[in-house]
């Protein structure tokens, strides 16, 4: 995919890319590579770790795009919490450590075809649309913490508060879903889920 990016970059006469562009390109390639590894590796835990690399790379890209606050939030939330959460998930579902040969399901070719086709179409459309568009990075920082906080608490207060309610709801939902409730853990459920769990393990 990276040659395509090169073509897109060079095919339109950018003979003198700036330093920021070069950095963006290199970090982008690394990010994309990490993402590819994330979705293709056979080792589940490695996938999570490669996801850290990809998300971190994206944080660097945000920095390059002068969105500092977003970059730090990205690092904090994604790298700090989401990936940890995913690792816990893997652990709790007894994901095998090491290479698991059945990490990919049977419809892998179809998925590949769909993904490549989508990529082709979207790249074509995007490049076609934005071939003459420039981002003026020199005219001041767009996403410093001060700027972001000002706009967030000036213009986006209501959505922000609503979002906090949503987070609360998600929290409660996650707890309700994951706890073993009293009447569900009765003998009837145990009797019910026991054979099925055993069956599932057998199939594994």
Give the footprint of other proteins on residues 25-84 (CB under 8 A): 25, 28, 31-32, 35-36, 38-39, 44, 47-48, 51, 54-55, 58, 61-62, 64-67, 69-70, 73-74, 77-78, 81-82
Binders of other proteins among residues 140 to 159 (CB under 8 A) are 142-143, 147-148, 151-152, 155-156, 159
Per-residue CA distances from 43 to 38, 103, 171 (Å)? 9, 8, 29
CA dihedral 113, 116, 117, 120 (to 10 degrees): -170
The three-class DSSP label of residue 176 is helix
Task: Give the shortest CB-58-to-other proteins separation in angstroms.
Answer: 5
Binders of other proteins among residues 102 to 141 (CB under 8 A) are 102-108, 110-119, 121-123, 125-127, 130-131, 133-137, 139
Phi–psi pair at 99, nearest 5 degrees:
-75, 125
Q: How many residues bind other proteins (CB under 8 A)?
A: 113
Closest CA relative to residue 75, chosen from 62, 53, 56, 88: 56
Task: Give the shortest CB-199-to-other proteins separation in angstroms.
Answer: 7
Q: For residue 107, give both structure tokens.
A: 């419809």
Q: What b/e sequence results for 151-178 when a residue is b if at least 16 CB atoms lie within 10 Å of its CB, and e otherwise?
A: eeeeeeeeeeeeeeeeeeeeeeeeeeee
Task: Give the shortest CB-17-to-other proteins separation in angstroms.
Answer: 8
Residue of 53, 72, 79, 95 interacting with other proteins (CB under 8 A):
95
Residue of 3, 16, 92, 158 interacting with other proteins (CB under 8 A):
92
Q: For residue 33, give both structure tokens.
A: 């590579």
DSSP symbol at 95: P
**182 near other proteins (CB under 8 A):** no
**16 near other proteins (CB under 8 A):** no
Residue with tokens 């790379």: 57
Task: Give the shortest CB-99-to-other proteins separation in angstroms.
Answer: 13
Task: Give the shortest CB-91-to-other proteins separation in angstroms.
Answer: 10
Residue partners of 105: CB distance under 8 A and separation at least 6: none
Binders of other proteins among residues 160 to 179 (CB under 8 A) are 160, 163, 166-167, 169-171, 173-175, 177-178
Residue of 21, 53, 72, 79 interacting with other proteins (CB under 8 A):
21
């Amino acid at each position: 995919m990276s040659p395509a990016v090169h073509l897109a970059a060079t095919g339109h006469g950018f003979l003198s890319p700036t330093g920021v562009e070069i950095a963006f390109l290199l970090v982008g390639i690394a990010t994309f590579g990490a993402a590819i590894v994330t979705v293709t590796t056979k080792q589940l835990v490695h996938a999570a770790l490669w996801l850290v690399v990809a998300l971190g790379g994206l944080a660097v890209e945000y920095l390059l795009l002068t969105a500092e606050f977003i970059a730090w939030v990205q690092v904090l939330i994604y790298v700090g919490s989401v990936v940890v959460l995913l690792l816990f998930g893997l652990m709790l579902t007894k994901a095998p450590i090491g290479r698991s040969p059945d990490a990919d399901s049977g419809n892998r070719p179809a998925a590949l075809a769909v993904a490549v086709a989508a990529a082709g179409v979207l790249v074509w459309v995007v490049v076609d649309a934005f071939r003459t568009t420039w981002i003026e990075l020199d005219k001041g920082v767009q996403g410093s913490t001060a700027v972001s906080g000002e706009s967030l608490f000036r213009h986006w207060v209501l959505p922000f508060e609503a979002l906090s309610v949503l987070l609360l709801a998600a929290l409660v939902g996650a707890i309700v879903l994951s706890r073993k409730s009293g009447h569900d853990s009765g003998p009837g459920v145990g009797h019910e889920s026991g054979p099925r769990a055993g069956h599932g393990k057998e199939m594994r």
